[in-house]
């Protein structure tokens, strides 16, 4: 099943957080780029701000990113809790790639100027816009057999990352989607989804 073939319901139901990943990909880098391009072109944004910027790091570039995070955290995390943090970071490092989700504040400022009545709302809608891109890619990657997990190590590595990949310093990093071919059995061994009762979370009127 792939992005082109899986129906929407299957894709939504299949998406999970998978942490046991490998440095392999079941699809080509060109296919990854194609999926990223579809997300950038077709995921909606508030007032059509198109404020999302994606930086995609594959293979050695991906490893370099997680090494930056690890170096920074090593200086902060107490030694007696390092084992847990280090293991977690090694897990991310042992994946194939990471998508960095940024929002460009210039796009937000332009809208605030154009629509001052919504000025205080645009930063929040920018977060929503980023989340829509995150979800679309997470779901799309999983339809291709890539496993993903979503991380939030910003803002610790922001400056070093901006300098390393020539990313404008003013872009705001929101999240990191780690992806790779799952280790054997990783998807199958996931626990059942922990789902609170639907009745508490869904109300339908007028049906
Ligand atoms: C907005 C959002 C933020 C999340 N942040 C993190 C995170 O920082 N680290 C992490 O390991 N998982 C993170 N997750 C993953 C959730 O914990 C996970 O999606 C949830 O427990 C449901 O499990 P599932 O993804 O396997 O369906 C995040 C998920 C969402 C939607």
> Ligand 1 centre and the CA of 137: distance in Å?
14
| Cβ partners under 8 Å of residue 48, min gap 6 | none
Angle, vertex CA 55, rays to CA 52 and CA 57, nearest 5: 155
Q: Is 172 exposed, middle or buried (0-12, 13-18, 19+ CB in 10 A)?
A: buried
Residue with tokens 């508030």: 46
**Structural domain contains residue 93:** yes
**Structural domain contains residue 2:** no
Q: For a substitution probing ligand 1, which of 13, 14, 15, 17 has the most ligand atoms within 8 Å of its CB?
A: 17
What is the domain range of residue 171?
A: 8-201
The response to whether residue 152 sits with its C-beta less than 6 Å from ligand 1 reads yes
**Structural domain contains residue 207:** no
**Structural domain contains residue 197:** yes
**Structural domain contains residue 206:** no
CATH number, domain at 20? 3.40.109.10
**Structural domain contains residue 104:** yes
pLDDT digits (tens, 9 = 90+) for 109-167: 999 999 999 999 999 999 999 999 999 999 999 999 999 999 999 999 999 999 999 99
Domain count, the chain: 1
> Ligand 1 centre and the CA of 149: distance in Å?
7
The response to whether residue 150 sits with its C-beta less than 6 Å from ligand 1 reads yes
pLDDT at 1 over 70: no
pLDDT digits (tens, 9 = 90+) for 29-53: 999 999 999 999 999 999 999 999 9
**Structural domain contains residue 163:** yes
Contact 111, 105 (CB under 8 A): no
């Amino acid at each position: 099943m792939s992005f082109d073939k899986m129906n929407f319901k299957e894709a939504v139901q299949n998406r999970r957080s998978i942490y046991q990943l490998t440095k392999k990909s079941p699809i080509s880098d060109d296919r990854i780029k194609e999926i990223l391009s579809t997300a950038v072109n077709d995921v909606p944004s508030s007032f059509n701000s198109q404020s999302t910027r994606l930086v995609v790091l594959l293979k050695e570039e991906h490893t370099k990113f997680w090494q930056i995070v690890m170096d920074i955290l090593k200086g902060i995390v107490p030694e007696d809790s390092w084992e847990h943090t280090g293991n977690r970071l090694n897990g991310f490092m042992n994946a194939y790639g990471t998508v960095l989700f940024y929002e460009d504040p210039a796009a937000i400022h332009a809208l605030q100027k154009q629509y001052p009545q919504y000025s205080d709302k645009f930063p929040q809608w920018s977060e929503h816009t980023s989340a829509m891109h995150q979800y679309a890619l997470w779901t799309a990657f999983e339809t291709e057999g890539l496993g993903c997990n979503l991380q939030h190590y910003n803002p610790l590595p922001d400056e070093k990352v901006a300098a390393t990949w020539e990313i404008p310093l003013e872009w705001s990093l929101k999240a990191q989607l780690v992806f790779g071919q799952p280790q054997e059995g990783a998807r199958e061994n996931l626990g059942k989804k922990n789902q609170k009762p639907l009745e508490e979370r869904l109300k339908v009127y007028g049906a």
